[in-house]
Structure 1
């Protein structure tokens, strides 16, 4: 027996694609740096310290006095001694003028003048605290005027080059259907 059958052959459609890749390049130029720092203004003023030492009392205690001080002291001592001498001579004159006291005035005066009394003190050792010290400390004044930084730095924009990609699509093969009748014997 002969049976007819239909055979169907299909071919799928094929699409072909060609692509060209896109390109991108980015360059970043360095920043334009312009920084400037002006010098600060600084002034320094000093007033020197002052130390005064007064040792005139110590020298006077050691009997090494300044000539002006010694002159004043000697003048005062001379004035005192002159007044004492004037008073003593006046008293001795009255003593000699009054012979009725019953004693020999000339002998008594000679005896008084024959003995002398000297007062001495240990010298060459100044008294405690006789050197006077005074100190005024130094004064230091510092004035600084700071100048701000001048920053004129500019950032440069990036350089971007872009070339877009391309896609081409084409049909490589068309779809097709084939029908065939085949007789088969069974």
Structure 2
């Protein structure tokens, strides 16, 4: 049997070990310091008070409760009217007496007229008369003026605290690569021929 020469190759791969330390990162952010102030609005209110007027002079006059000045005015006016009426009556009666010869009983008639008073009149009515009290009302006025104030905001931003530790990778060879070469039946003897 013939033996064929052979080359045998045997390889061992390289084995690498990695030692990895992860990087560490820390970020700390403190909240901002914030202060907000809101001033009150400026409010101005102007009020004109309402006005109520009650005029009861007509009702008082209806009940014959007149003021002194009103009574004096009325008495003066009535005296003047009575004086004018008396002058007119006397003039007329003087004329009648001057013409007494024309007949009639002028003297007796004048005596009867001068002695008789005015007839009394009676009337039914409401005292005081309806709507004799006058009411007047002027409503109040309110003026409101508001001025808004802007808020005062103060914000302080805090810096970020950042720490970073780098990671590292250590490489180590666990097994070296190797290549073994063997030759088999390289030298055949003459017997095989």
Structure-1-length-normalised TM-score: 0.81
Q: Is residue 61–residue 127 contact of structure 1 (8 Å, CA) maintained in 2? A: no
1:154 pairs with 2:166 = no
Could you list the runs of 4 or more consecutive aligned residues of structure 1 that deviate by over 6 angstroms after TM superposition? none
Q: Which residue of 1 aligns with 2:168?
A: 166
Partner residue of 1:139 out of 122, 141, 159: 141
Gaps of 5+ in 1: none
Residues 42-51 or 65-74, more deviating = 65-74
Note closer, same or farther for the CA distance 1:39–1:119 as it changes in structure 2 (3 Å cut). same
The secondary structure found in structure 1 opposite 2:156 is coil
- Once superposed, what is the RMSD of the aligned Cα atoms? 2.5
State the aligned residue count. Answer: 182
Q: Is residue 31–residue 154 contact of structure 1 (8 Å, CA) maintained in 2? A: yes
1:126 pairs with 2:146 = no
Q: CA separation in 2, counterparts of 1:158 and 1:84?
A: 115
Offset of residue 49 of structure 1: 1.5
Structure-2-length-normalised TM-score: 0.79
Note closer, same or farther for the CA distance 1:81–1:122 as it changes in structure 2 (3 Å cut). farther
Q: CA separation in 2, counterparts of 1:159 and 1:115?
A: 121
Offset of residue 161 of structure 1: 1.2
Q: Which residue of 1 aligns with 2:53?
A: 52
Q: Deviations over 1:82-138 (max 9, x none)?
A: 22123323433443454313233332123323363234444414155x444333222
Gaps of 5+ in 2: 186-193
Q: CA separation in 1, counterparts of 2:117 and 2:72?
A: 28
Q: CA separation in 1, counterparts of 2:117 and 2:58?
A: 33
Q: CA separation in 1, counterparts of 2:175 and 2:56?
A: 127
Q: CA separation in 1, counterparts of 2:45 and 2:118?
A: 69
1:84 pairs with 2:85 = yes
